[in-house]
Amino acid sequence: MGYLPAGIAFGVLAQVAGIPIWATIMLSIVLYAGAAQYACLPMLSAGLPIGNIATNIAAINLRHVFYGMPLLQYLPKK
């Protein structure tokens, strides 16, 4: 149920930022990371190069590595 309000909010913000509808849909399909999607909007509307956007998105998603580290002890041993 949380995806619907987040998706609506993302669509509204993309519309306000001037991102075309096709790009908004592609972002939702290709970039499946909520925080990165929202952070990508001002960078796209500012016309930043794709390398800068990709680096920013990688830095945002790096947090998942640290979230997963405590779970390593529960992985099966070979």
Above 80 in pLDDT, residue 1?
A: no
Structural domain tally of the chain? 1
According to the model, what pLDDT value does residue 33 have? Answer: 80
According to the model, what pLDDT value does residue 28 have? Answer: 87
CA-CA distance, 77 to 34, in Å (whole number)? 32
Q: What is the pLDDT of residues 24-64, one digit of tens each?
A: 999 888 887 888 899 999 999 999 999 999 999 999 989 88
- What is the pTM for the complete model shown? 0.73
Above 90 in pLDDT, residue 78?
A: no
Domain containing residue 44? 3-74
Enter the tokens of residue 41: 């909007």
Contact 27, 40 (CB under 8 A): yes
- Please give the C-alpha separations between residue 66 and each of 47, 50, 59, 71, in angstroms, as whole numbers: 31, 25, 12, 10
Question: How many other C-beta atoms can be found within 10 angstroms of the C-beta atom of residue 19?
Answer: 19
According to the model, what pLDDT value does residue 50 have? Answer: 93
CA-CA distance, 52 to 64, in Å (whole number)? 20
